[in-house]
Amino acid sequence: MAALTRVIPRLLSYNYSLPKRNGISAKPYFIYLTSIHQLRCKLLQINLFHTSLPLLKEVVEGGLGGDPYRRQVVLGIETSCDDTGAAVVADSGEVLGEALHNQQSVHLRHGGIIPPVAQRLHEQNIEQVVNEALEKAGMTVRDLDAIAATVKPGLSLSLSVGTRYGKNLAVSGKKPFIPIHHMEAHALTVRMVHKAEFPFLVLLASGGHSLLVIAHSLDHWSIIGQTIDDAPGEALDQGARRLKLRNIPECASMSGGQAIEYLATGGNPRAYEFPTPMGKYKDCTFSFSGLKHTLTRLIERLEEEYEVEGGNIIPPIQDVCASFQYAVTKHLVRQTQRAMVYLDVRDLLPSQNKTLVVSGGVACNQYIRAALQKLCDTTGYQLLCPPPKLCTDNGIMIAWNGMERWLAKAGVLHDEEDIAAVDFQASSRVAATTGRVCMIWFSQEGNQASSEAGKISSRSTAYRAQKMNDTNCE
Ligand code: KG4
Ligand code: ZN
């Protein structure tokens, strides 16, 4: 609100009559356009679009094509892994049209994602998905202000499809192109629906990533922790496969994480013990492969004990799922708390407005959300998560990230040659076990922050570890 009270007098002081289009002289018209753009950005920042300020809403959204008040519209395209997604999003955060083709059923049959199969499915579906999103929005490419597509990180064969399609559409339609970082999109999605002002702490947990990041601004991110092996979603997916959860009819079409959450609901989270990952290291690094291997050994033991063979399920399936979910949750919460300690000690977030944003497919999990909520209640953070539908991969998050960059004029390519030169980037690092992709968008500072986080956390471990004790996970 404070930002609004600063902006409005400044805007009014320009002294032009507001929606008067004809007869506006060149100079005030220019100032007027600039100011409208600034106001729009400012309103976006302070998330006032959903308020009941009709006049401002009209100023920002009103008017039709060619009108200076016309709302801005971006198309987003996502093909970084196994979902072909597209969406048209307005600067208000309104989703005008969206479409998603999910490849999950095919990959479930193969027992995992096979990149050439994913690529073929993206190629078969991308045109239809993009057209469907545009049709639902009642638009054609001509009506768009810009086109955004995920160019990194992800599976290179998958990324290549969306990158190429988005670039071609931008060049043929003479529209600006905005290359998108998939994890940045996950981190910013929340700003469509909640007021999350920079800087904030982000936990990104998905099938390919496990990251703790400080979001300083649209162009400044510091990674303070990431996985050294698997991502949590990957561990859950592989665990579910080993538990043969697909053979349980209710779970047949669920992702591994979803199936484990579903079965864990009726189980005892303390039934089986799992080791604490990274127990000796006092930093924010994640590791899920140890948990995965402990689960495999546990399943082998139980299969022998209950004489379970073939596609049959071990009887204590609910307790096993609940215990594994508990172990994954505890690790996520523990490392997130370390990150909070680091931020506190370095005074990196405003003390009156400390925010933890959680996103990525694993953030759909209500048990994990509840545990993180408890952590936030203890540490004075507000927890913000996008709705579950926006946590897993989709075109909306790419369109929204494109919109944020479009409004901020950051990373927008107008020149045909610049657009043609954009290439997709799988990753700077690949997880050892499955080839799924780990992190990117480092800065020197991020690396330094990561090692510093270790030192600071280790100094304050005693008091933190006590607070951490299982209370935050149940
Ligand atoms: O973000 P996402 O759609 O794709 C990647 O960028 O990886 O995340 C997919 C991951 C899968 O591993 C899936 O098992 C996990 O998110 N997931 C869940 C839940 N729903 C999806 N994990 C735990 N609980 C859930 N409810
Ligand atoms: Zn993702």
Instruction: State which of 385, 392, 401, 439 you would mutate to test the pocket of ligand 1, scoring each by most atoms of that ligand within 8 A of its C-beta.
Output: 392
Q: How many CA atoms lie within 13 A of 157 on its CB side?
A: 14
Residues 19-33: what's their mean pLDDT?
35
Instruction: State which of 80, 82, 180, 206 you would mutate to test the pocket of ligand 1, scoring each by most atoms of that ligand within 8 A of its C-beta.
Output: 206
Atom of ligand 1 nearest to the CA of 392: 3
Q: Which residues line ligand 1 (CB under 6 A)?
A: 81, 206-208, 233, 236-237, 255-258, 261, 360-362, 364-365, 392-393
Instruction: State which of 83, 202, 255, 434 you would mutate to test the pocket of ligand 1, scoring each by most atoms of that ligand within 8 A of its C-beta.
Output: 255
Residues 315-339: what's their mean pLDDT?
98
**Where residue 159 falls among pLDDT bands split at 50, 70, 90?**
very high
Q: Is there a contact between 286 and 224 (Cβ–Cβ < 8 Å)?
A: no
pLDDT of residue 356: 98
Ligand 2 centre to CA of 449 (Å) is 24
pLDDT of residue 113: 87
Of these ranges, 39-43, 374-378, 469-473, the one predicted with the greatest mean pLDDT is 374-378
Ligand 1 centre to CA of 413 (Å) is 31
Ligand 1 centre to CA of 68 (Å) is 41
Is pLDDT larger for residue 22 or for residue 390? 390
pLDDT of residue 40: 56
pLDDT of residue 435: 26
| Nearest ligand, CA 362 | 1
Q: Is there a contact between 226 and 285 (Cβ–Cβ < 8 Å)?
A: yes
This prediction has a pTM of 0.80
**Where residue 107 falls among pLDDT bands split at 50, 70, 90?**
confident
Provide CB contacts within 8 A for 179, sequence distance 6+. 148, 149, 151, 152, 163, 411, 413, 422
Residues 415-444: what's their mean pLDDT?
57
**Where residue 281 falls among pLDDT bands split at 50, 70, 90?**
confident
pLDDT averaged over every residue in the chain: 82
| Nearest ligand, CA 206 | 1
Atom of ligand 1 nearest to the CA of 255: 14
Residues 26-42: what's their mean pLDDT?
45
Out of 46-50, 176-180, 193-197, 207-211, which region has the weakest mean confidence (pLDDT)?
Answer: 46-50
**Where residue 194 falls among pLDDT bands split at 50, 70, 90?**
very high
pLDDT of residue 460: 40
pLDDT at residue 54 tops 50: no
pLDDT at residue 367 tops 90: yes
Residues 55-79: what's their mean pLDDT?
65
pLDDT at residue 442 tops 70: no
Atom of ligand 1 nearest to the CA of 82: 4
Ligand 1 centre to CA of 270 (Å) is 24
Ligand 1: which residue has its CA nearest to atom 14?
257
Share of the chain above pLDDT 90, in %: 71
Phi, psi for 146 (deg, rounded to 5) = -160, 165
**Where residue 109 falls among pLDDT bands split at 50, 70, 90?**
confident
Ligand 1 centre to CA of 262 (Å) is 13
115-124 residues labelled b (16+ CB within 10 A) or e (exposed):
eebbbebbbe
Distance in angstroms (rounded) separating the CA atoms of residues 63 and 19: 9
Ligand 1 centre to CA of 206 (Å) is 5
Ligand 1 centre to CA of 239 (Å) is 13
pLDDT of residue 43: 52
Ligand 1: which residue has its CA nearest to atom 7?
207
pLDDT at residue 321 tops 80: yes
pLDDT of residue 459: 38
Of these ranges, 27-41, 248-262, 446-460, the one predicted with the greatest mean pLDDT is 248-262
| Nearest ligand, CA 181 | 2
Ligand 2 centre to CA of 450 (Å) is 22
DSSP for 297-314? Answer: HHHHHHHHHTT--TT---
Atom of ligand 1 nearest to the CA of 436: 7
pLDDT at residue 13 tops 50: no
Instruction: State which of 181, 362, 390, 427 you would mutate to test the pocket of ligand 1, scoring each by most atoms of that ligand within 8 A of its C-beta.
Output: 362
Q: Is there a contact between 338 and 464 (Cβ–Cβ < 8 Å)?
A: yes
| Cα 350–Cα 353–Cα 357 angle in degrees, nearest 5 | 105
**Where residue 209 falls among pLDDT bands split at 50, 70, 90?**
very high
Distance in angstroms (rounded) separating the CA atoms of residues 121 and 128: 12
Distance in angstroms (rounded) separating the CA atoms of residues 261 and 462: 31
Ligand 2 centre to CA of 10 (Å) is 40
Ligand 1: which residue has its CA nearest to atom 23?
257
**Where residue 29 falls among pLDDT bands split at 50, 70, 90?**
very low
Atom of ligand 1 nearest to the CA of 394: 3
Ligand 2 centre to CA of 415 (Å) is 29
pLDDT at residue 202 tops 50: yes
Complete edge-to-edge strand list for the sheet that includes strand 177-181: 95-102, 83-90, 73-78, 146-152, 177-181
**Where residue 58 falls among pLDDT bands split at 50, 70, 90?**
very low
| Nearest ligand, CA 332 | 1
Share of the chain above pLDDT 70, in %: 76
Ligand 1: which residue has its CA nearest to atom 20?
258
Ligand 2 centre to CA of 163 (Å) is 16
pLDDT of residue 112: 82
Is pLDDT larger for residue 313 or for residue 67? 313
Atom of ligand 1 nearest to the CA of 391: 1
pLDDT at residue 467 tops 80: no
pLDDT of residue 69: 66
pLDDT at residue 14 tops 50: no
- Give the pairing of strands 200-205 and 355-359: parallel
Residues 231-244: what's their mean pLDDT?
96
Q: Is there a contact between 237 and 255 (Cβ–Cβ < 8 Å)?
A: yes
Q: Which residue has the tokens 């071990």?
A: 314
pLDDT of residue 468: 33
Ligand 2 centre to CA of 186 (Å) is 7
Residues 262-289: what's their mean pLDDT?
95
pLDDT of residue 295: 98
Residues 401-425: what's their mean pLDDT?
97
pLDDT at residue 9 tops 80: no
